[in-house]
Amino acid sequence: MESAEIRRRWLSFFEERGHTVVPSASLIADDPTLLLVPAGMVPFKPYFLGETKPPAPTLTSVQKCVRTPDIEEVGKTTRHGTFFQMCGNFSFGDYFKEGAIKYAWELLTSSVADGGYGLEPEKLWITVYLDDDEAEAIWRDKIGVPAERIQRLGKKDNFWSMGVPGPCGPCSEINYDRGPEFGVEGGPAVNDERYVEIWNLVFMQYERGAGDGKEDFPILGDLPSKNIDTGLGLERLAMILQGVRNMYETDTLRVVMDKATELTGVAYGAADHSDVSLRVVADHIRTSTMLIGDGVTPGNEGRGYVLRRIMRRAIRNMRLMGATGPVVRDLIDVVIETMGQQYPELITDRKRIETVAIAEEAAFLKAIKGGTNILDTAVTETKAAGGTVLSGDKAFLLHDTWGFPIDLTLEMAAEQGLSVDETGFRRLMQEQRDRAKADAKAKKTGHADVSAYREIADGSGATEFTGYATNQGEAT
């Protein structure tokens, strides 16, 4: 089943059951605590918080999402992209646990002829939160899932809150068993690559108080109106329904990998490291296209930096596979062709998207040239002095003046037989961030602190975004 059909079926299933269809919001979050939208519920946050009345008691959407913290997983796990689409259904004081569970089961397991996705019930494993006996009983007694395929998970995976006082509640996740070729048995609690998580159901039923924001906070009581927030990864379901081993091989991403192969001559399947590069290219080029489409332009701060980092990583991986000249235009055009079916504004905006991307690529190719000279000189000096380690100062200079990501410096130094003082580099980066923070504080701009994103985007230090997206099992 093609991605477009998965999406169509999702929306019509919930529309037929009384939900109002809401189009995807922009990736640029209308929310000062977030740079980019990491989950389908974000545009509906004011409804969940009771600040605004929803247009209808039940809604459904397929939301564009970007999760920068997942960048290191891309191409390595089979199931994480920096961009993906989250299919969601939402209830504001309408149906609750039993309703959400029944809908999910019906849609996943009804036959394709009946409008469902036709998954075999025996392949589905369920997780519920530690003390959520109610959810477990619904799965076991009303749906008929055998008790041995229901597992309990703790706060990190199966309890959701926004990281601040307000609504929170347990989650229940639906996972698909891809079989022994993906590793040992034992359910999602044991092996999350074999038992891949496809759908998260969040039951917002409690109100939480302050606490340390993460796992330790008091539950103040029940919410007056209980809400449902769910999220299913479209690409993950596509991977299962299309019978491929990872999300990059699904219909909308495979074509980007094929274009990268055409441009580099490196075939998919030729070697593990080039396969990772092909997957990174497919993911990152798609993310870049979608970000530029929503109006992000490359820069050194905030969203612009996220885009720059992702685009440069894609270009660097193309170069690792042997590309020397410009490549992004050809790659982006493939994304516009495939994603343009769902997001026609990509097609009408093609010229602008290409122009932004081509300019960034030219800037990066120029930087690589300029930076390479600095690097070569530094390598010669280091070797002449009998050293084997390139100093943190030099790595920092390359980053600061030529926008060299540290992994690029590491690789280029390694090619010439040197390692790099990464600790020194990270210390200088931290000092720079501290200075920037102090400046921002002095200016009292009132803008959200984006340094956490920057660290993630740099791959330097913090791996956990301290904002909304990774709180308590992550926003759905």
236 lies in the site for ligand ATP, by CB under 6 A: yes
Shortest gap between Cβ of 81 and Mg ion (angstroms)? 11
Query: CA separation (Å) from 220 to 89, 225, 239, 468?
Result: 26, 14, 41, 21
* Segment interacting with Mg ion (CB under 5 A) among 145-153, 190-198, 414-422, 456-464: 190-198
Written as six digits, the tokens of 370 are 């300029």
338 lies in the site for Mg ion, by CB under 5 A: no
Q: What is the total residue count of the chain? A: 476
Shortest gap between Cβ of 187 and ligand ATP (angstroms)? 14
Phi, psi of 64 (to 5 degrees): -65, 135
Of residues 36 and 292, the one with the C-beta less far from Mg ion: 36
Shortest gap between Cβ of 197 and ligand ATP (angstroms)? 4
The Cα–Cα gap between 442 and 421 comes to 32
- Binding-site size for ligand ATP (CB under 6 A) equals 18
Of residues 11 and 410, the one with the C-beta less far from ligand ATP: 11
Q: Which of 167, 233, 371, 405 binds ligand ATP (CB under 6 A)?
A: 233
70 lies in the site for ligand ATP, by CB under 6 A: yes
* Segment interacting with ligand ATP (CB under 6 A) among 98-106, 177-185, 193-201, 410-418: 193-201
Shortest gap between Cβ of 185 and ligand ATP (angstroms)? 18
Q: Which of 67, 259, 319, 426 binds ligand ATP (CB under 6 A)?
A: 67
Q: Which of 151, 161, 175, 200 binds Mg ion (CB under 5 A)?
A: 200
Shortest gap between Cβ of 377 and ligand ATP (angstroms)? 40
Max CA distance (Å), the chain: 75
Nearest to 398 by CA among 377, 414, 418, 380: 377
Number of H helices, E strands in the chain: 16, 11
The Cα–Cα gap between 469 and 476 comes to 8
* 3-state SS string for 213-254: CCCCCCEEEEEEEEEEEEEEEHHHHHHHHCCCCCHHHCHHHH
The Cα–Cα gap between 314 and 425 comes to 23
Of residues 1 and 363, the one with the C-beta less far from ligand ATP: 1
DSSP string, 349-381: THHHHHHHHHHHHHHHHHHHHHHHHHHHHHHHH
474 lies in the site for ligand ATP, by CB under 6 A: yes
Of residues 41 and 413, the one with the C-beta less far from ligand ATP: 41
CB 78 within 8 A of CB 239: yes
Written as six digits, the tokens of 152 are 């309990």
* Segment interacting with ligand ATP (CB under 6 A) among 52-60, 227-235, 348-356, 438-446: 227-235
**CA pseudo-torsion sign 397, 399, 400, 402:** positive
375 lies in the site for ligand ATP, by CB under 6 A: no
197 lies in the site for ligand ATP, by CB under 6 A: yes
Q: Tell me the residue number closest to ligand ATP, measured at CB.
A: 233
235 lies in the site for ligand ATP, by CB under 6 A: yes
The interface with ligand ATP within residues 78-117 (CB under 6 A) comprises: 79-81, 84, 86
Written as six digits, the tokens of 438 are 């102090």
Nearest to 64 by CA among 449, 335, 355, 277: 335
**CA pseudo-torsion sign 97, 98, 103, 109:** positive
* Segment interacting with ligand ATP (CB under 6 A) among 55-63, 229-237, 266-274, 412-420: 229-237
User: Residue 388 pairs with which residues in a beta bridge?
Assistant: none
Of residues 80 and 303, the one with the C-beta less far from ligand ATP: 80
Residue written as token pair 């997001």: 343
Of residues 171 and 450, the one with the C-beta less far from ligand ATP: 171
CB 116 within 8 A of CB 16: no
238 lies in the site for ligand ATP, by CB under 6 A: no
- Binding-site size for Mg ion (CB under 5 A) equals 2
198 lies in the site for ligand ATP, by CB under 6 A: yes
* Segment interacting with Mg ion (CB under 5 A) among 15-23, 189-197, 367-375, 454-462: 189-197
Of residues 90 and 199, the one with the C-beta less far from ligand ATP: 199
User: Which of Mg ion, ligand ATP, none lies near 199, with the C-beta cut-off 5 to 8 A by kind?
Assistant: ligand ATP
476 lies in the site for ligand ATP, by CB under 6 A: yes
Instruction: Give the contacts of 359 (CB within 8 A, at least 6 positions apart).
Output: none
**Which residues form the interface with Mg ion (CB under 5 A)?**
197, 200
**Which residues form the interface with ligand ATP (CB under 6 A)?**
67, 70, 79-81, 84, 86, 197-200, 231-233, 235-236, 474, 476
